[in-house]
Amino acid sequence: MAAPSPVDDLWQLDPDERPAFVDELNRAELESLLIDLYDWRRLGRPEQVWPPGAWKTWLIQAGRGWGKTRAGAETTRAYAIDHPGCRMLIAARTASDLRDVCIEGISGVLAISPPWDPPRYAVAVAPFRDQTRMNDGDVKSAMIADLLQNLPLLQTLPLSEISYLADTLTKREYPAGTLVVREGHPASHFHILLEGKVEIIKALGTADERLLAVRKAGNVIGEMGLLSEEGLHTATVRAQTPIYLLQMTREEFDALLHRQPTLAYGMVRTLSQRLNHSENLTIRDLRRKNRELMQAYEALEAAQTVPGVEVAGARPTLGQVFGKRVIVVGGGAQVAQVALGAVSESDRHNLRGERISVDTMALVGEDEIAAAVRAVADLPRAHILVLAGSLMGGEITKAVRELRQLGIPVVALSMAGSVSAEADLVVSDPVQAGTMAVMAIADTARFDLDKLRGRRY
């Protein structure tokens, strides 16, 4: 059982009473409060907190959304603090899963650590290609067969077929930036991604370039070209990270379908899903361009009716050029970290045709920040606000409530004060806060803020 702390009293108060409570704390009590706000024994549900006493194995069997990743990350952090110098192992199916979920994910070790004491880490993990090499340089087919068996597309295949593929398929590895497949080129191979990430890009290098999807380990690529009547690749596949994959020739692919005809049904389902996704993106792009053309035509028509105007021309609006704005306000160092995440994420979506820009303002003082929050409502194209700091409440909380009533969502860092209770989303890691803010307003992101409203990460 955790010792009594000011945070216990804080949770008992109404949100409006919390700023006054915090203001009355002395420095030592305030430091204790900030530390305890990151104590999982106080924040987690009883079943999410590690067992008491000496134990060797703690097995969690639960469904998605239970909080397994968060519980594991919190346990890892607490054990490392209590056992300085200890050696710990965090295992995941792939190096990408380890990095993207267990370490850098929204419930990973970095996100749940306090911003003033982030852990320094290096991923000391052997890539899949290194884990599977025998002393003589060959690849252990058994490990590859295990991965193939877990691919949804291949789960219906008998073990003998899985083992045959693991033994015979060509293994390839490519550095980040490699164009594995080129749109319009003859489709000669089908690939199974074992490690890393790839980008699926339409019209690469043209004004109409669009990022259709990012696929992780366990996906197949290049199959649409093999199944199409023209036999040409319909999009470009570029390695986003170093990748390791299995390669199957057209002849091997045809032979596989001949041996296992039921596999064709799975291929058709996959093809149908990807075509639907691609068509939805195309329709959305056409609708956006039609809206822009209509707005430009109406503006040009209106300008020509103004007395004294002899020549009128259309220029892109600020919305078309700079798009939606993410506004970041708060302490300087944390604002910079939020901006880092927001700029990085907006770059990914802008490549898909979005227009998202990031504006920052480093401020201190309750009145100054509250005034800035209220002013966001008057900023053109402002779509979301991120508040970065260690303590905000009082007048700032009232300003946040007013801004949200006007339809502008607010993301706040995990901090002391009542702002956290009023924000739409609370995120502990500033970089992740910037990333999630962009995802919340991007049309090209599968992120529903309404479903996550009120949650803490």
Report the SS3 class of residue 394.
Answer: coil
Averaged pLDDT, 8-31: 79
* pLDDT (tens digit per residue) in 271-329: 556 555 555 555 666 666 677 777 777 777 776 676 765 655 556 666 667 778 899 99
| Range(s) of the domain holding residue 342 | 318-452
Distance CA(415)–CA(380), nearest Å, equals: 28
Cα–Cα dist 82/77, whole Å: 9
pLDDT at 130 over 60: no
In a domain, residue 205? The reply is yes
* Beta bridge pairs of residue 386: 328, 411
E strands in 23-138: none
The pLDDT value recorded for residue 126 is 47
| pLDDT score for 317 | 65
Measured in whole angstroms, the distance separating CA 130 from the mean position of its chain's CA atoms is 27
What is the model's pLDDT at position 123? 46
* CA 167 from centre of chain: 35
Residue 90 sits in the same domain as residue 206: no
pLDDT score of 392 more than 80 = yes
Cβ–Cβ under 8 Å, residues 339 and 411 = no
* 105 found inside a domain: yes
What tens digit of pLDDT does each residue of 199-240 get?
A: 988 888 887 787 877 888 778 887 776 666 677 888 889 998
Residues 78 and 162 placed together within one structural domain of the fold: no
Residue 405 CA to residue 378 CA, distance in Å, equals 14
User: So what's the pLDDT on residue 228?
Assistant: 64
Axis crossing angle, helix 430-441 with helix 332-350, rounded to the nearest 10: 40
Mean pLDDT of the region 179-193: 85
Q: How does DSSP assign 49-80, residue by residue?
A: SPPSSS-S-------TTS-HHHHHHHHHHHHH
pLDDT for 327 equals 92
Does the residue 26 lie in any domain? Answer: no
For residue 161, the domain's CATH number is 2.60.120.10
- Are 407 and 344 found together in one domain? yes
Which string of DSSP letters, residue by residue, matches 176-217?
A: TT-EEE-TTSB--EEEEEEES-EEEEESTTSTT-EEEEEE-T
What pLDDT score was predicted for residue 386? 92
Residue 330 — left, alpha, or beta (φ > 0 → left; ψ -120 to 50 → alpha)?
left
Q: How far apart are CA 389 and CA 392, in angstroms?
A: 7
Number of domains observed in the structure of the chain: 3
Can you list the positions of beta strands (E) in 196-323?
Answer: 198-202, 210-215, 220-221, 236-239, 243-249
Q: Whole-model pTM above 0.85?
A: no
CATH number for 371: 3.40.50.10550
- The tokens describing 341, both together, are 């995440």
Assess whether pLDDT exceeds 60 at residue 425.
Answer: yes
Are 137 and 176 in a shared domain? yes
Band of residue 333 on the pLDDT scale cut at 50, 70, 90: confident
How high is the pLDDT of residue 194?
A: 82
Q: What is the Cα–Cα distance from 109 to 89, expressed in whole angstroms?
A: 13
> Mean pLDDT across the stretch 146-152?
70
Same domain flag for 204 and 247: yes
Orientation of helix 159-168 relative to helix 141-149, angle to 10°: 130
Regarding whether 92 and 175 lie in a shared domain, the answer is: no
Residue 14, SS3?
A: coil
Q: Which of 25, 26, 74, 76 is nearest to 47 (CA)?
A: 74
Do 264 and 141 sit in the same domain of this protein? yes
pLDDT (0 to 100) of residue 204: 84
Residue 12, SS3 per DSSP: helix
| Same domain flag for 108 and 156 | no
How much is the mean pLDDT over the chain? 78
380 has pLDDT over 70: yes
Residue 29, strand partner residues: none
pLDDT exceeds cutoff 70 at 424: yes
309 located within any domain: no
What are the pLDDT digits (tens) for 85-99?
777 788 877 666 777
Residue 311 belongs to some domain of the structure: no
Residue 137 clears pLDDT 50, i.e. is over it:
no
Q: In what order do the strands lie in the sheet with 382-388?
A: 356-362, 324-330, 382-388, 410-413, 425-427
According to the model, what pLDDT value does residue 244 have? 87
pLDDT at 385: 92
Range of weakest confidence among 370-379, 427-436, 445-454: 445-454
Shared-domain flag, residues 153 and 38: no
Q: How many CA atoms lie within 13 A of 209 on its CB side?
A: 13
- Asked if residue 137 and residue 108 are part of one domain, the reply reads no
Measured distance CA(98)–CA(102) in Å, rounded = 5
Domain identity same for 105 and 155: no
How far apart, in Å, are the Cα atoms of 173 and each of 32, 143, 183, 191? 50, 17, 20, 11
Residue 174 makes CB contacts below 8 A (sequence gap 6+) with 180, 239, 242, 243, 245
One domain for residues 270 and 139:
yes
Q: What is the pLDDT of residue 456?
A: 78
